[in-house]
Amino acid sequence: FMGYTLGPMIGHYLSMSGGPQLVATSMGVTGAIFLGLSWYARSTRAVNTANWGSFLIIGILTAFGLGLAAIFFQMPALSLAVSGLFVLLMSGLSMYETQNIVRGGETNYILATVSLYVTIYNLFTSLLHTIDGYYVVVNVTQCWHSQLVQLEEQVLFVVNVGTQKYSVRRVRSIT
């Protein structure tokens, strides 16, 4: 199921302007996070993550609930925050699983392998969404439409700073 959904998702991002760089960056950051945290989890100076299990499960369930709320209430800022939260939770889960495997807490290696795969998959998709969610704070009075480049923009929310009014927008080039 995960491979079935990953292909169209990556295809969507690759078809966007700047999509190949986005996918490559997400893959590189995912690899760096996983390898770095796994290396740290194997070291003798690493924090003992044996007690993190219940915290991670509660965090994942909470983030899942917030993600559903972001979808149903159409809140893109909450969706971006949930993706960032999933990046942190999956990073912690990769350390937890690696220490379980290395220190002998997990004896079923098939289950351990599948668990690490799901962690890496979720880390990658969350990073993909987080890196894609770049936001530009622009002054409302500025004009973003030019004759050479068409922009697709979505106003997320308006922020009042003193007497100035700024809008936070998601901007993508569609030409």
pLDDT per residue over 46-79, tens digit each?
888 888 989 999 999 999 999 999 889 988 888 8
**pLDDT higher at 68 or 44:** 68
Residue 33 and residue 126: Cα distance in Å, rounded?
13
Contact 90, 123 (CB under 8 A): yes
pLDDT recorded at residue 138:
31
Return the pLDDT at 64: 93
pTM metric for this prediction: 0.73
Whether residue 136 is predicted with pLDDT greater than 80 in this model: the reply is no
* Mean pLDDT (whole number) for 145-172: 47
